[in-house]
Structure 1
Amino acid sequence: MSASIAIQGLGVERRYGGFRALKGVDIAVKRGEIRGLIGPNGAGKSTLIDVLSGRVRGQPGKVLLDGKDISALKPQERRRLGLARSFQRTNIFPALSVEQQLRIASWAVTDAGIEEVMAELNLTALARTPAAEISYGDQRRLDLALALVGRPSVLLLDEPAAGLTVEESHGLATILRDLANRWNVTVLLVEHDMQVVFSICDGITVLHLGQTLAEGGVAEIRADKRVVTAYLGTEA
């Protein structure tokens, strides 16, 4: 594997009995890249994130992190090696304060940098506020902050802008692009908001029916007739 590849999936499969949700998917994301992962509902996007993050193991294929085979490692073990993820639904505890939740997340890592993460995500003023009392937009940024504790080298984001307003989505996208540049974080981003994807991603992988339909730069994907037909439609 090239030394410039941060995370790679080789022949990744996910089977539910006789149904193959992923059919030998190959993906390789370069260090410092923001890669969009798009496709119709049921294409296998979140399933691929689950496999890469270790929530699903024991399936055909391999997952490599910085060239090391981590296919057998549990999610917590992958987290300690620098692989973090977020979820479609906010992964927060409503009764706990913002800072308390970040401190819990810090147990899995060294050099958590909680104050720095709160400052980067504009959460410092809310540090002592229970998550149930902050806005939904702030909750989504808290969810991202939980994944960023310890400065992971690779970040897998599953619809981080889900439910946000257009303004909130653009704000989150700007923060993410800036952090990826300054912290040299590699990002694999599942997102249905195409304006977010097109504005911050360096490249895009398109899944369809559990397989890779297309891969390339933003302009290339927007012009790909197969992608327009299968997913983008008039959004392209």
Structure 2
Amino acid sequence: MTVALEGRGLSRAFGGFRALDGVDISVESGQIRGLIGPNGAGKSTLIDVLSGRAQNWSGQIFLDGEEITHLKIQDRRHRGLARSFQRTNIFPTVSIGMQLTVASRALGDSGLAEVVEALNLGPLLDHQAAKVSYGDQRRLDLALALVGRPRVLLLDEPAAGLTVEESLTLAGILRDLVRRWGTTVLIVEHDMEVIFSICDRITVLNLGKTLAEGGPDQVRRDPAVVSAYLGSQA
């Protein structure tokens, strides 16, 4: 398998606190990779670094073997690296349809209809984003990240604030869509039901370093992971 996204020696510090401490990560093309760990482990910081939203960090990043370390956010997006946010990155007073149309035009993509259908947003296109449910807002945020059929998708807690049923439904939609498109996914998520149900492989961070990596069953049984994070969740 080819490597779609790779980070080498990624480090970032806030004063004396090292949020990332020489992290290496390599995600194969078409893989859904989970990224888990305790609060403060460095998960969202890693997503920020990979997506180009972080400053004052060191290391190298490669997309499909091409170095993108110094590319700006917009350039990474046009190269096929997209992300969603822990807090939805939407415009509350703008209709769902308009937001998706603008994003699609900006990326020169004509496949918007498939995204709308997959996430069941058709009935909501004329609604202002602020006037739909939180679950619908999260689906809009995911749809905005999926516009343009990105080669690599970074997801920062896409199920945050959703019910168990909503989380599993969203996870199923995501899994089916990225499989159909061959999209590579790196997902940060605290809901272990979501992580263990859709991920091919899981990376565990703790205190800014890689604690473990492996398949879902392997990670679930790892004593260091159970001690540091999973505990009774395992």
- Which range, TM-score by smaller chain? over 0.9
Residue of structure 2 aligned with 1:27, choices 25, 28, 34: 25
Q: Equivalent residue for 1:61?
A: 59
Note the C-alpha offset of 1:94: 1.0
TM-score (norm 2): 0.97
Rounded Cα–Cα distance in structure 1 between residues aligned with 2:198 and 2:4: 18
Moved over 3 A (4+): none
Deviates more, 1:144-153 or 1:129-138: 129-138
> How far apart are 1:58 and its partner, in Å?
4.9
Q: Where in structure 2 are the equivalents of 1:80-95 lying within 5 Å?
A: 80-95=78-93
Counterpart Cα distance in 2 of 1:110 and 1:41:
38
Structure 2 unpaired stretches of 5+? none
Q: Does 1:130 align with 2:128?
A: yes
Give the alignment of 1:91-102 within 5 angstroms. Answer: 91-102=89-100
Distance 1:167 1:29 in 2: 28
What aligned pairs does 1:4-83 form with structure 2 within 5 A after superposition?
A: 4-83=2-81
Give the SS at the match of 1:60.
Answer: strand
Q: Deviations over 1:99-140 (max 9, x none)?
A: 111123224412242222111110011111111111111111
**Distance in 1 separating the partners of 2:6 and 2:156:** 17
Please tell me the residue identity of whatever aligns with 2:138: R
SS of residue paired to 2:211? strand
Q: Distance in 2 between matches of 1:139 and 1:14?
A: 31
Which amino acid counterpart does residue 82 of structure 1 have in structure 2? G
Q: Which moved more, 1:12-21 or 1:135-144?
A: 12-21
Whether the 8 Å CA contact 1:214–1:227 is kept in 2: the answer is yes
Distance between the aligned counterparts of 2:108 and 2:13, measured in 1?
35
Tell me the distance in 2 between the aligned counterparts of 1:121 and 1:205: 27
Q: How many residues align?
A: 234
Q: Aligned-pair distance for 1:57?
A: 4.3
Q: Please tell me whether residue 172 in structure 1 is matched to residue 176 in structure 2.
A: no
Residues in 2 aligned to 1:116 and 1:191: alpha-carbon distance in whole angstroms: 25
Question: How many Å apart are 1:15 and its aligned residue?
Answer: 1.7
Residue 191 of structure 1 is matched in structure 2 by: 189
1:18 Cα deviation from its structure 2 partner: 3.1
Provide the C-alpha distance between the structure 2 equivalents of 1:229 and 1:177, rounded to a whole number of angstroms: 29
Shift of 1:56: 1.6
The alignment yields a C-alpha RMSD, in angstroms, of 1.1
Contact 1:80 / 1:108 at 8 angstroms: preserved in 2?
Answer: no
Unaligned runs of at least 5 residues, structure 1 = none
Identity %: 66
Moved more, 51-60 or 211-220: 51-60
Q: Secondary structure at the match of 2:27?
A: strand
Match of 2:142 among 141, 144, 156: 144
- The 2-side partners of 1:119 and 1:195 are apart by 25
Distance 1:16 1:75, change over 3 A: same
Letter of the 1:174 partner, please give it: G
Q: Normalising to structure 1: TM-score of the pair?
A: 0.97
Q: Deviations over 1:12-45 (max 9, x none)?
A: 0112233221000000000110000000000000
Corresponding residue to 1:206 among 204, 207, 210? 204
Contact map agreement 1:63 1:69 (CA 8 A) in 2? yes
* 1:229 equivalent among 205, 227, 230: 227
Change (3 A) 1:59 1:107: farther
Q: Structure 1 residues 112 and 56 mapped into 2: Cα distance closer, same or farther (>3 Å)?
A: farther
